[in-house]
């Protein structure tokens, strides 16, 4: 059976998340790839045995390379040359900044200037989609080892066949929808959508019957386990979620999109790593950079696609983030009005809110 590009990509993401190595290749080379976060010592030893202890490289983002003071020669990714055998502890310390103080003398690192960077860049994209630390090991393998690994059910793919975005359909057919009465309001429907590439599910909570001809009051809300569920005071997410729900209940109409893009798209585990870094003095943006991520890794194109699937193209957007307006506008949604969504400041989120305003351009 022939697999589609999206299905192949999904399989590779799942394998990396499970801790399995994968094979990526192009016309020049075949490379065995493993995500450093899900590696452990026995697995690394087995990979070394299978590949006859071939030398390998480490792929990291340029953000992480700057932290490690490694030279950057490519706009997309940095490849660190590993000349001697390293243990799993050092590999994980290279990938995970929450361990920087445990391994302060990791360098110096030697970056590859020449060669093909495409496979390294794809490996980082796959790690990010898997919500793992964006760091992988790369081992160039000959045909004989590749055939042996493929016969052992290791997934392989030509990087040209991978697809991280599908312009035609980012979702499988709508999974399910049903009426869902909540406290204080009865006329609510919940619709579940699922991405093709990594099978992440997102939710559209629709209050009343928003008219297609009128701008619908809309909130694009990214999941925040710590704020929405636990009531964390480190952010303003939980309060923004509650205020949005209350306003839509009061008006009797509205659409709240709940996107499972925790921690601005880096996942809960990486968000906790970022919190650890914040606790020792880094702000929310710098913490993301030390992890190897950009300021914001969310894909807001998903929100536009969900709105269009609901028949909505004109909205009043509840947000303090001008970039959300820009993203939605660029993807075919007309934002007729920005509705401010101001949360209260407390000693625990004061610096966080100041950073959002200063570095991320939020209007507070």
Active-site position among 100, 296, 299, 351: 296
DSSP structure class, residue 37: G
DSSP structure class, residue 124: H
Query: Would you call 64 a catalytic residue per the annotation?
Result: no
322 token code pair? 């001008």
Helices (H), the chain: 5-18, 41-50, 62-67, 88-95, 118-129, 143-151, 237-251, 262-265, 268-279, 284-291, 301-309, 322-330, 350-359
Strands 78-82, 56-60: parallel, antiparallel or unpaired by DSSP? antiparallel
Query: Would you call 298 a catalytic residue per the annotation?
Result: yes
Query: CA-CA distance, 139 to 331, in Å (whole number)?
Result: 39
Query: CA-CA distance, 53 to 65, in Å (whole number)?
Result: 25
Q: How many CA atoms lie within 13 A of 13 on its CB side?
A: 22
Query: CA-CA distance, 180 to 187, in Å (whole number)?
Result: 7
Active-site position among 298, 299, 338, 351: 298
Nearest residue to 91 via CA among 131, 123, 136: 136
Calculate ∠ Cα 19-22-28, nearest 5°. 150
CB within 8 Å of 351: residues ≥ 6 apart: 283
339 token code pair? 């509705």
φ, ψ of residue 134 to 5 degrees: the values are -80, 75
Residues annotated as catalytic are: 296, 298
């Amino acid at each position: 059976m022939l697999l589609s590009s999206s299905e192949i990509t999904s399989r590779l993401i799942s394998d990396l998340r499970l801790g399995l190595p994968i094979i990526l290749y192009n016309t020049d080379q075949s490379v065995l790839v493993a995500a450093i976060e899900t590696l452990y010592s026995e697995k690394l030893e087995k990979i070394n045995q299978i590949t006859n202890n071939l030398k390998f490289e480490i792929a990291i983002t340029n953000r992480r390379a700057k932290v490690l003071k490694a030279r950057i020669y490519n706009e997309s990714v940095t490849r660190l040359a590993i000349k001697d055998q390293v243990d799993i502890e050092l590999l994980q310390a290279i990938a995970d900044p929450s361990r920087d103080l445990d391994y302060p003398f990791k360098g110096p690192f030697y970056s590859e200037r020449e060669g093909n960077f495409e496979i390294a860049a794809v490996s980082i994209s796959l790690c990010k989609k898997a919500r793992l630390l964006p760091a992988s090991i790369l081992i160039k393998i000959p045909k004989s080892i590749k055939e042996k690994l493929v016969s052992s059910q290791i997934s392989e793919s030509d990087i040209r066949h991978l697809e991280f975005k599908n312009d035609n359909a980012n979702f499988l057919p709508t999974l399910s929808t049903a009426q869902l009465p909540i406290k204080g309001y009865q006329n609510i429907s919940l619709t579940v959508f699922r991405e093709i590439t990594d099978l992440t599910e997102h939710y559209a909570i629709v209050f009343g019957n928003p008219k297609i001809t009128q701008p619908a009051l809309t909130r694009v809300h990214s999941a925040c386990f710590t704020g929405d569920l636990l009531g964390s005071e480190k952010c303003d997410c939980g309060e923004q979620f509650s205020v949005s729900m209350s306003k839509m209940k009061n008006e009797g109409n509205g659409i709240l999109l709940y996107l499972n893009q925790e921690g601005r798209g880096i996942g809960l585990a990486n968000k906790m790593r970022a919190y650890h870094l914040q606790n020792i003095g880094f702000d929310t943006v710098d913490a993301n950079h030390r992890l190897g991520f950009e300021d914001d890794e969310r894909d807001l194109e998903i929100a536009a696609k969900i709105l269009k699937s609901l028949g909505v193209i004109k909205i009043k957007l509840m947000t303090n983030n001008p970039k959300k307006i820009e993203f939605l506008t660029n993807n075919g949604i007309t934002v007729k009005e920005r509705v401010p969504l101001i949360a209260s400041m407390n000693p625990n989120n004061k610096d966080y809110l100041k950073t959002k305003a200063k570095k991320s351009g939020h209007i507070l």
